């Protein structure tokens, strides 16, 4: 089966611009998660979708970040306007139904804001 | 709140030597503990996990970890390092009886020399 796919793999934008990251989960996985790793720091949880609904968005840093999962398939994470501190690697993960289903991570999108 | 501390941002070993990566956690309730590995330009891959039961857990690629409640530790070991083990390793904890909201450590880069 195809794994979790993230686009783009790298993105370099200027402060104030908008960037949209995309995640295609494994087919059939209802759970979709976004995590972020800022340089030198921990990987931190951003939010969790169950199908198209936001189950937990407690990790979203501020209202410049907007995540969507229309139709319960792929998800997008938009940053508008981007700030320097948004630079980092954004990981997406998906899992099957069930609270103890293991997470499958994508390769991440490396975002650089200059 | 829960937290994870990984001692040493970088660990260097020679090929064939013992690998020991340290992880200590903080949790007010029984934890679920994980080790993930990230190879260059790839996503996070689950190495092993502890949920309940046997405290010594075996994972892929010859790695194992032991849950020690009294020491709040979950150190990762491998008897003999291979060059292919060079990667970044992350310890993570969750306490909600599910895998969704993981709290990660800062990661330890394992360097293996010939």
Burial B34-61 (b: 16+ CB within 10 A, else e): bbbbbeeeebbebbbbbeeeeeebebee
- The predicted pLDDT at position B26 comes to 92
Range B48-55 contact pairs with CB under 8 angstroms and sequence separation of 24 or more: B48/B76, B49/A102, B50/B74, B51/A100
Cβ <8 Å between B103 and A45: yes
Can you spell out the DSSP letters for A24-83? EPPTT--EEEEEEE-TTS-EEEEEEEETTEEEE-TT--STTEEEE-GGGS-EEEEESS--
B53 CB within 8 Å of a chain A CB? no
Tokens 């990661």 locate to: B107
* pLDDT confidence band for B80 (50 / 70 / 90): very high
**Structure tokens of B96?**
């909600």
Sheet of A65-68, strands arranged across: A5-7, A19-24, A75-79, A65-68
CA-only gyration radius of chain B, Å = 13
* Residue A1 touches partner B, C-beta closer than 8 Å: no
Summarised one tens digit per residue, pLDDT across range B24-34 is 999 878 889 99
Of the residues A34, A37, A43, A92, the best mutation for testing chain B's interface (the one with the most B CB atoms within 10 Å of its CB) is A43
- Per-residue pLDDT tens listing for chain A (114 residues): 689 999 999 999 999 999 999 999 999 999 999 999 998 889 999 999 999 999 999 999 999 999 999 888 999 999 999 999 999 999 999 998 876 788 899 999 999 999
> How far off is chain B from A59, nearest CA to CA, in Å?
10
B34: contact with A, CB 8 A cutoff: no
How many residues in chain A?
A: 114
pLDDT of residue A1: 67
Tell if the CB–CB gap between A105 and B100 is shorter than 8 Å.
no
> Do residue B106 and residue A103 have CB atoms under 8 angstroms apart?
no
């Amino acid at each position: 089966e195809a794994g979790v796919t993230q686009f783009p793999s790298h993105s370099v934008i200027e402060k104030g611009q908008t960037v949209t990251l995309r995640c295609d989960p494994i087919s059939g996985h209802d759970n979709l998660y976004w995590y972020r790793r800022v340089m030198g720091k921990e990987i931190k949880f951003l939010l969790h979708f169950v199908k198209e609904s936001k189950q937990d968005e407690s990790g979203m840093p501020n209202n410049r970040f907007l995540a969507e999962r229309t139709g319960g398939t792929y998800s997008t994470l938009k940053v508008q306007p981007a700030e320097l501190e948004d630079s980092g690697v954004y990981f997406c993960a998906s899992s099957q139904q069930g609270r103890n289903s293991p997470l499958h991570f994508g390769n991440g999108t490396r975002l650089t804001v200059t | 709140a829960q937290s994870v501390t990984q001692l040493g941002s970088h660990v260097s070993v020679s090929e064939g030597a013992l690998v020991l990566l340290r992880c200590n956690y903080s949790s007010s309730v029984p934890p679920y503990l994980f080790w993930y590995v990230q190879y260059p330009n790839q996503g996070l891959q689950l190495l092993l996990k502890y949920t309940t039961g046997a405290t010594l857990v075996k994972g892929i690629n010859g790695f194992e970890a032991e849950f020690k409640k009294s020491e709040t530790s979950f150190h990762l070991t491998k008897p003999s390092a291979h060059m292919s083990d060079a990667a970044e390793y992350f310890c993570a904890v969750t306490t909600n009886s599910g895998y969704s909201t993981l709290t990660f450590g800062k990661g330890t880069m394992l360097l293996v020399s010939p």
